[in-house]
Structure 1
Amino acid sequence: MPTGPKGQKRPADAIGRAVQIAQIATGEIEDVVPDDGKDPNAKALGAKGGRKRAENMTPERRKEIAQNGVAP
């Protein structure tokens, strides 16, 4: 049976998954999202870091990093 990214079980076929989604939407079953163990505040700060780093870089440095990213 397929598992999600966190190892949770889910239906193997599309119809079974559609039924599960309908049950969650109507409140028949509860959608349980496992805790990843990370601090939500730390996750929020991490999301801000990349944007701040890009703002502090020169356009030439950003271009260099982008070119290195697409180089084979």
Structure 2
Amino acid sequence: MTARIPKRPRDTNQLAKRVVDIATGEAEDKKPLASARKGGLKGAKARMKALTPEQRSEIARTAAAARWKKAG
């Protein structure tokens, strides 16, 4: 069984102390942040490699049209 990561405190003062302890190096933050984002960061690059320049242009054109439609 893997070790459980302790939950952060709900009380505002306890949470503030925990944040200060992590910032000053007195405590270690056990939450894994970087590993959760690996897939998302690789996905866009892989998708762009798979698309042709014409397909990328069409996607950009559609996105620009959607942005201009919102502003109007």
Query: Which TM-score band (shorter chain)?
Result: 0.3 to 0.5
* TM-score of the superposed pair, with normalisation by structure 2: 0.48
